[in-house]
């Protein structure tokens, strides 16, 4: 029945087609095509596209004037003309042609011209030559490197140590090896530049706390805890780190490690400790700030220090548990992608470590000059009395940094004329996260005799009075 | 002759093409003909048969396509490894298999885990199997032959024990000792020893504070002379030279155009600078030109301001590919588009050019055309550290603004002395010294070299050509430029990485093998670094053994047999050098 009806309809349609006038069919045809077109064409109008013509592009390229690669440096830029040290930069040194007593190099233990260190380095030089001609992975690992790592680990009483060929690159590579995008790093405002660069490379979230202010740190940690409770899923994968220095390069102050360790366990954040200044100086054996406070070194997740200060060699190291340190052997950029430390420098560091274990005393001297330098009119001493490197800042700033720097430089220059080699602490003013005020950095070493310390203190006092008053 | 086919791995598809018609360079200026520029601007890639005489010498660079079957098998290999990795991780999780790796402290178990689980999957399950091929400790000079400390592992490479034996006289094909200056005798060593005794090993201060020794000044003056630039500055570490100086040159609002295969240090420096980074295909000038053009025409994204400046980052020799940068074209482009050029000569300084002045000399170009000449002392000079050379204004700026100069300890004096002596040796003492001209150098005492510097450079070039030619004849797939002393031999399959390294060591040859992540996943390779210290005999021994191992491991993948090199005059066709 149904089929019959359908057939009938079909027949009727065909019939209608025959009967319809031609113009009608054409019209219908056009309408159908129109519908199809409408169906397939875009219903919206494309944005006014005004592609540049080739000529316009050419003109734009012609027109563009880049800035110069570097801006010109004024001839009197305070950092342009370096002091020239002729001969070894050790205890007595010739700066700009004048012999001075060195109060500027970080040669805390006087190991730079130690004959034993030199002999060890020389023996190594005679065996291995100078360079390593390769990164650690590709035949750049020498037995000396393994020895040094072993010695450092034993000395620091940690499971493992890893050495880098450049002090700056040590902490700057170590931080991004662990802390990644999305992780949170709590860092002291006064942290040194290497730490700042490491943090920048890690692309983690950075929270600055006030220098050595544990209450401020705890406030930030608490804030984070509240944040974490809101989003526990994210919190489960967000690592937290606290990055501090043992003795701060920029301030000469010591970090309150016991409080930090307490906070670490309370808020489950790992501690990275940079000990470039405190290694070889603090603690009974020079193991640094952990030994100074009597803290179990395993409570610190990673300790990094350079071998360029107390050890008077080149390079740096990280130490800690194998679980942590070993990771850097594949992820520490400055370790994997750089040529390894020249063996003679590693040998020098080993010998320096040997000598260090014989425990020279430095602390009393630091205290002595500290005391002697108190009460200079116009200058204030910034830094711990046990720190071998501390700062002299202007008591009252003139208001312009440039002027302050000039005043301090005047003091440095005059001291230099009177055979006391000093230097201002140099910073890249535009790059520093929290720029410290300008200062003269005074470095105390074991080689300086009491007389020399006295003389330095009185010279600085006299010069400062002459310049500042 | 046929154009080299685009590799199945897409990053090389257009490599074999010629350069874009960007006009010709005469007297150092680009004169683009309107038609060519128009065509290029319209987005057409032009394969022109003459490139305006940019190259003064043949530029033969080949990257043979990965055979399809090999590629498939390689992926299968990684697939199997990954499956087994998961299986073993599962077994370790349930303590069925013993866990060798170090674990978190008990006290810190409830901390957020320090590593993401997957982060170390590759290390645990793939790298660990063949870990014995890396970090092999040596106990001698890294010269032509080297002594390696034998080590054994009883727990599948999780830990190593030193047997106390020393494998003596292993042929060293791994160290970057291009000119053979890694030596423990001779003038360089003697000079370094003298300085070491006088100065000590360290410096204990930064350049800007009180670590600027007379030796450093002497070195920098010499480096500038060596490079033919106005001034230079030296830094304590090659890696840091890049990562700590690029941020001083560019910053926010600047654009960095970086080759995709640039070294990690350049990448890090670029990232630390805060500038926008765009990547162009490896050594691909069309890609670079397109980026340059778009950058200038469209300006910065979002703000639409024009870029403050554009810095192109390239390397002289790429250490994993063995390719040489197409410097003449890069310079033409940089001039046309007013960009700045940062050239990293870590591997090419000393190793290329008739007198070892690097890739600039190799192409017969003017060092003035390169804005920032960077390089390292680690390789050809057998020392450590890096330098930057350029215009006086640039160096003055770096002296005041380089992160290294302000915050990092300066170069160790004995290392400085090694560089000074080796560099003088390469210069053959003939660089007109300190304003004295001919008479001055005649009067300076000639330090006896172990070999005249120029001869070293020539020896290296000869060794390179010989070694590369022989390997190609044997049927290996060799990447890179025929003049590059870095010779990558393709292994492809993960299992062959370990096998090749071990078999070669068994035959007393130390080679470097590399796989993912240093290379793309299927392009694992062995890398040979040639040295002027390699004698023909050493090379022949090495070649014989490589041949043998190549047969054993079936590494002779090449389907192009090489025809003898003809002394054909250079034209575009020499880009496409393989023959069926």
Listed in sequence order, the residues at least 6 apart from B183 whose beta carbon sits closer than 8 Å to its beta carbon are A129, B141, B143, B189, B382, B450
Outline where DSSP puts E strands in B111-254. Answer: 145-152, 161-172, 231-235
pLDDT for the residue numbered A44: 65
Beta bridge partners of B278: B257
CB contact under 8 A, A323 and B140: no
Task: Residue B331: name the closest of B323, B339, B322 by CA.
Answer: B339
In total, the C-beta contacts within 8 angstroms joining chain A to chain B are 374
Which of B213, B296, B399 has the CB atom closest to A60's CB atom?
B296
Give A-chain residues touching B381 at CB under 8 angstroms. 131
* Confidence class for position A427, pLDDT limits 50, 70, 90: very high
User: Is the Cβ–Cβ distance between A445 and A309 less than 8 Å?
Assistant: no
* DSSP 8-state code for residue A238: -
CB contact under 8 A, A323 and B382: no
Distance separating alpha carbons of residues B576 and B49, to the nearest angstrom:
12
How close, in Å, is residue A11 to chain B by CA atoms? 58
Alpha helical stretches, state H, A2-85: 2-19, 22-40, 54-63
Judging by DSSP bridges, how do beta strands A184-188 and A240-245 pair with one another? parallel
Give B-chain residues touching A139 at CB under 8 angstroms. 136, 138, 142, 146, 172, 174-175, 510, 512
Name the residue in chain B with its Cα closest to that of A77: B400
Mutation target among A94, A110, A133 for the B interface, most CBs of B within 10 A = A133
Name the residue in chain B with its Cα closest to that of A104: B210
How close, in Å, is residue B168 to chain A by CA atoms? 14
Tell me the C-alpha to C-alpha distance, in Å, between residue A382 and each of A51, A283, B470. 62, 21, 67
Distance separating alpha carbons of residues B145 and B160, to the nearest angstrom:
23
The mean pLDDT of B163-192, rounded to a whole number, is 92
Give A-chain residues touching B133 at CB under 8 angstroms. none
Outline where DSSP puts E strands in A26-96. Answer: 85-86, 92-95
Q: Of A267-281, A342-356, B321-335, B432-446, which range is least confident? A: B432-446
How close, in Å, is residue B157 to chain A by CA atoms? 14
* Helix, strand, or coil (residue A312): coil
The mean pLDDT of B348-366, rounded to a whole number, is 93
How close, in Å, is residue A21 to chain B by CA atoms? 52
Give B-chain residues touching A427 at CB under 8 angstroms. 406
The mean pLDDT of B262-287, rounded to a whole number, is 94
How close, in Å, is residue B521 to chain A by CA atoms? 17
Mutation target among A84, A126, A131 for the B interface, most CBs of B within 10 A = A131
Beta bridge partners of A208: A187
B398: its two tokens: 């770096």
How close, in Å, is residue A447 to chain B by CA atoms? 14
* DSSP 8-state code for residue A254: B
Alpha helical stretches, state H, A41-166: 54-63, 115-128, 143-156
* DSSP 8-state code for residue A306: E
* Helix, strand, or coil (residue A379): strand
Which of B174, B197, B264 has the CB atom closest to A134's CB atom?
B174
pLDDT for the residue numbered B317: 95
The mean pLDDT of B433-441, rounded to a whole number, is 39
Q: Of A29-38, A288-297, B60-69, which range is least confident? A: B60-69
Residue with the bigger pLDDT between A8 and A178: it is A178
CB contact under 8 A, A58 and B41: yes
The mean pLDDT of B47-75, rounded to a whole number, is 77
CB contact under 8 A, A69 and B371: yes
How many CB atoms are located within 10 Å of the residue B228 CB? 15
Give B-chain residues touching A421 at CB under 8 angstroms. 210
Name the residue in chain B with its Cα closest to that of A336: B264
Chain-wide mean pLDDT for chain A? 90
Kindly calculate the radius of gyration of chain B based on its CA atoms and give it in whole angstroms.
Answer: 25
Buried b (16+ CB within 10 A) or exposed e, A355-371: bbeeebebbebbebbbe
CB contact under 8 A, A112 and B202: yes
pLDDT at B11 over 90: no
Give A-chain residues touching B409 at CB under 8 angstroms. 166-168, 306, 308, 314
pLDDT at B1 over 50: no
CB contact under 8 A, A167 and B409: yes
How many CB atoms are located within 10 Å of the residue A108 CB? 29
How close, in Å, is residue A385 to chain B by CA atoms? 21
Beta bridge partners of A443: A389
| Residue recorded with tokens 């070299």 | B449
Please, what's the largest Cα pairwise distance for chain B? 79
pLDDT at B551 over 50: yes
User: Is the Cβ–Cβ distance between B322 and A46 less than 8 Å?
Assistant: no
pLDDT at B21 over 80: no
* Confidence class for position B99, pLDDT limits 50, 70, 90: confident
Task: Residue A241: name the closest of A221, A226, A255 by CA.
Answer: A221
pLDDT (tens digit per residue) in A91-108: 999 999 999 999 999 998
How close, in Å, is residue B570 to chain A by CA atoms? 31
pLDDT for the residue numbered B561: 59
Mutation target among A82, A130, A353 for the B interface, most CBs of B within 10 A = A130
Which of B103, B138, B189 has the CB atom closest to A141's CB atom?
B138
Mutation target among A57, A115, A124, A138 for the B interface, most CBs of B within 10 A = A138
Alpha helical stretches, state H, A103-213: 115-128, 143-156, 167-178, 193-202
* Confidence class for position A324, pLDDT limits 50, 70, 90: very high
Give A-chain residues touching B378 at CB under 8 angstroms. 131-134, 339
A335: its two tokens: 């370790």
* Helix, strand, or coil (residue A107): coil
pLDDT (tens digit per residue) in B445-500: 444 455 567 888 999 999 999 999 999 999 999 999 999 999 999 999 999 999 99
CB contact under 8 A, A80 and B399: yes
Task: Residue A333: name the closest of A204, A172, A180 by CA.
Answer: A172
Listed in sequence order, the residues at least 6 apart from B565 whose beta carbon sits closer than 8 Å to its beta carbon are B469
* Helix, strand, or coil (residue B559): coil
pLDDT (tens digit per residue) in A110-121: 899 899 999 999
pLDDT (tens digit per residue) in A207-249: 999 999 999 999 999 999 999 999 999 998 999 999 999 999 9
Mutation target among B163, B201, B252, B497 for the A interface, most CBs of A within 10 A = B201
CB contact under 8 A, B407 and A143: no
CB contact under 8 A, A129 and B401: no
Mutation target among A57, A60, A69, A430 for the B interface, most CBs of B within 10 A = A69
CB contact under 8 A, A69 and B249: yes
Distance separating alpha carbons of residues B468 and B452, to the nearest angstrom:
24
Distance separating alpha carbons of residues A223 and A227, to the nearest angstrom:
6
pLDDT for the residue numbered B283: 92
HSE-CB of B520 using CA atoms within 13 angstroms: 17
Q: What are phi and psi of A421, to 5 degrees?
A: -85, 120
pLDDT at B576 over 50: no
pLDDT at B291 over 70: yes
User: Is the Cβ–Cβ distance between B89 and B121 less than 8 Å?
Assistant: yes
How many CB atoms are located within 10 Å of the residue A200 CB? 21
pLDDT for the residue numbered A378: 81
Q: What are phi and psi of A149, to 5 degrees?
A: -60, -40
Please, what is the Cα angle at A410 between A405 and A413, to 5 degrees? 120
pLDDT for the residue numbered B304: 87
Beta bridge partners of B259: B280
User: Is the Cβ–Cβ distance between A144 and A350 less than 8 Å?
Assistant: yes
pLDDT at B12 over 80: no
Task: Residue A388: name the closest of A361, A420, A350 by CA.
Answer: A361
Which of A85, A308, A336 has the CB atom closest to B213's CB atom?
A85
pLDDT for the residue numbered B505: 95
Mutation target among B111, B202, B408 for the A interface, most CBs of A within 10 A = B202
pLDDT for the residue numbered B120: 81
pLDDT at A362 over 80: no
Work out whether the CA dihedral B452, B457, B459, B460 comes out positive or negative: positive
Listed in sequence order, the residues at least 6 apart from B67 whose beta carbon sits closer than 8 Å to its beta carbon are B557, B559
pLDDT for the residue numbered A379: 87
pLDDT at B34 over 90: no
The mean pLDDT of B39-60, rounded to a whole number, is 54
pLDDT for the residue numbered A2: 55
Distance separating alpha carbons of residues A120 and A350, to the nearest angstrom:
8
Tell me the C-alpha to C-alpha distance, in Å, between residue B269 and each of B88, B115, B520. 39, 25, 22
* Share of residues in chain A with pLDDT > 90 (%): 68
Tell me the C-alpha to C-alpha distance, in Å, between residue A155 and each of A148, A150, A297, A355, B377. 10, 8, 12, 12, 32
pLDDT at B44 over 70: no
Which of B146, B197, B384 has the CB atom closest to A339's CB atom?
B384
pLDDT at B272 over 90: yes
Which of A71, A95, A201 has the CB atom closest to B210's CB atom?
A95
| DSSP line for B251-266 | -TT-EEEEETT--HHH
pLDDT for the residue numbered B17: 35
The mean pLDDT of B59-77, rounded to a whole number, is 89
CB contact under 8 A, A89 and B138: no
* Helix, strand, or coil (residue B310): strand
């Amino acid at each position: 029945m149904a089929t019959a009806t359908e057939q009938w309809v079909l027949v009727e349609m065909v019939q209608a087609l025959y009967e319809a006038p031609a113009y009608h069919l054409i019209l219908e045809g056009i309408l159908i095509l129109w519908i199809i077109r409408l169906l397939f064409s875009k219903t919206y109008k494309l944005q006014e596209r005004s592609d540049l013509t080739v000529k316009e592009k050419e003109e734009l390229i012609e027109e563009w004037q880049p800035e110069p690669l570097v801006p010109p440096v004024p001839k009197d830029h305070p950092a342009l003309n370096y002091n020239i040290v002729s001969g070894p930069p050790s205890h007595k040194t010739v700066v700009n042609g004048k012999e001075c007593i060195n109060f500027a190099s970080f040669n805390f233990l006087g190991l730079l011209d130690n004959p034993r260190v030199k002999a060890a380095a020389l023996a190594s030089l005679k065996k291995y030559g100078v360079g390593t001609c390769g990164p650690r992975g590709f035949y750049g690992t020498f037995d000396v490197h393994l020895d040094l790592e072993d010695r450092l680990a034993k000395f620091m009483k940690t499971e493992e140590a890893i050495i880098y060929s450049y002090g700056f690159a040590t902490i700057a590579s170590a931080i991004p090896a662990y802390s990644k995008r999305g992780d949170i790093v709590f860092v002291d405002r006064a942290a040194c530049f290497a730490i700042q660069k490491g943090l920048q490379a890690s692309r983690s979230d950075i929270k600055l706390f006030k220098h050595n202010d544990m209450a401020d740190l705890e406030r930030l940690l608490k804030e984070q805890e509240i944040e974490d409770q809101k989003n526990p899923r994210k919190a489960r994968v967000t690592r937290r780190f606290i990055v501090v220095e043992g003795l701060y390069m920029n301030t000469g102050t010591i970090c309150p490690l016991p409080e930090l360790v307490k906070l670490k366990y309370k808020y489950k954040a790992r501690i990275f400790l940079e000990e470039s200044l405190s290694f070889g100086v603090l603690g009974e054996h020079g193991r640094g700030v952990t030994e100074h406070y009597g803290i179990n070194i395993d409570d610190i997740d990673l300790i990094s220090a350079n071998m360029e200060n107390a050890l008077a060699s080149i390079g740096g190291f990280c130490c800690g548990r194998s679980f942590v340190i070993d990771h850097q052997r594949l992820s520490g950029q400055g370790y994997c992608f750089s040529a390894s430390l020249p063996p003679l420098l590693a040998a020098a560091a080993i010998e320096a470590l040997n000598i260090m274990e014989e425990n020279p005393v430095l602390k009393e001297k630091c205290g002595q000059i500290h005391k002697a330098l108190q009460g200079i009119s116009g200058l204030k001493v910034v830094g711990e009395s046990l720190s071998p490197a501390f700062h002299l800042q202007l008591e009252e700033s003139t208001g312009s940094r440039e002027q302050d720097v000039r005043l301090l430089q005047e003091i440095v220059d005059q001291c230099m004329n009177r055979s006391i080699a000093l230097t201002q602490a140099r910073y890249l003013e535009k790059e520093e996260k929290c720029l410290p005020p300008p200062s003269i950095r005074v470095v105390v070493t074991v080689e300086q005799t009491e007389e020399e310390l006295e003389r330095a203190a009185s010279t600085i006092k006299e010069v400062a009075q002459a310049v500042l008053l | 002759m046929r154009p080299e086919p685009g590799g199945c791995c897409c990053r090389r598809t257009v490599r074999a093409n010629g350069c874009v018609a960007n006009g010709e360079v005469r007297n150092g200026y680009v004169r683009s003909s309107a038609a060519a520029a128009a065509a290029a601007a319209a987005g057409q890639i032009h394969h022109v048969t003459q490139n305006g005489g940019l190259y003064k010498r043949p530029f033969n660079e080949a990257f043979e396509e990965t055979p399809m079957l090999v590629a498939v098998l390689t992926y299968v290999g990684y697939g199997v490894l990954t499956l087994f990795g998961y299986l073993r991780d599962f077994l370790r999780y349930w303590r069925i298999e013993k866990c060798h790796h170090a674990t978190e402290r008990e006290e810190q178990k409830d901390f957020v885990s320090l590593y993401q689980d997957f982060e170390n999957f590759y290390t645990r399950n793939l790298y660990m199997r063949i870990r014995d091929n890396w970090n092999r400790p040596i106990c001698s000079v890294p010269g032509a032959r080297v002594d390696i400390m034998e080590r054994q592992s009883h727990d599948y490479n999780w830990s190593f024990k030193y047997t106390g034996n020393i494998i003596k006289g292993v042929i060293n094909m791994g160290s970057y000792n291009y000119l053979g200056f890694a030596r423990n005798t001779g003038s360089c060593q003697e000079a370094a020893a003298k300085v070491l005794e006088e100065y000590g090993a360290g410096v204990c201060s930064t350049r800007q504070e009180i670590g600027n020794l007379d030796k450093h000044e002497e070195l920098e003056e010499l480096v500038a002379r060596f490079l033919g630039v106005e001034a230079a500055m030296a830094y304590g570490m090659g890696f840091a030279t890049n990562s700590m100086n690029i941020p001083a040159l560019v910053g926010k609002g600047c654009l960095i155009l970086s080759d995709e295969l640039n070294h990690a240090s350049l990448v890090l420096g670029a990232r630390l600078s805060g500038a926008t980074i765009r990547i162009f295909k490896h050594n691909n000038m069309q890609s670079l030109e397109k980026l340059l053009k778009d950058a200038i025409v469209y300006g910065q994204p979002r703000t639409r301001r024009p870029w403050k400046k554009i810095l192109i980052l390239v390397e002289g020799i790429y250490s994993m590919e063995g390719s040489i940068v197409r410097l003449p074209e890069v310079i033409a482009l940089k001039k046309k588009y007013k960009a700045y050029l940062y050239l990293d000569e870590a591997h090419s300084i000393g190793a290329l050019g008739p007198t070892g002045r690097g890739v600039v000399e190799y192409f017969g170009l003017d060092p003035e055309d390169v804005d920032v000449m960077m390089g390292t002392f680690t390789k050809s000079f057998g020392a450590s550290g890096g330098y930057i050379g350029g215009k006086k204004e640039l160096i003055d700026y770096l002296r005041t603004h380089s992160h290294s100069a302000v915050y990092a300890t300066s170069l160790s004096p004995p290392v400085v002395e090694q560089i000074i002596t080796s560099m003088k040796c390469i210069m053959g003492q003939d660089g007109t010294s300190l304003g004295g001209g001919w008479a001055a150098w005649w009067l300076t005492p000639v330090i006896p070299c172990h070999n005249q510097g120029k001869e070293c450079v020539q020896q290296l070039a000869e060794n390179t050509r010989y070694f590369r030619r022989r390997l190609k004849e044997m049927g290996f797939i060799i990447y890179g430029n025929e003049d590059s002393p870095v010779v990558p031999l393709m292994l492809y399959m993960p299992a062959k990485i370990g096998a090749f390294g071990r078999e070669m060591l068994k035959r007393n040859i130390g080679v470097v093998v590399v796989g993912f992540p240093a290379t793309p996943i299927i392009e694992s390779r062995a890398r040979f670094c040639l040295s002027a210290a390699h004698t023909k005999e050493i090379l022949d021994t090495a070649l014989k053994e490589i041949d043998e191992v190549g047969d054993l491991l079936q590494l002779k993948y090449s389907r192009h047999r090489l025809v003898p090199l003809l002394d054909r005059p250079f034209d575009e066709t020499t880009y496409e050098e393989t023959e069926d």
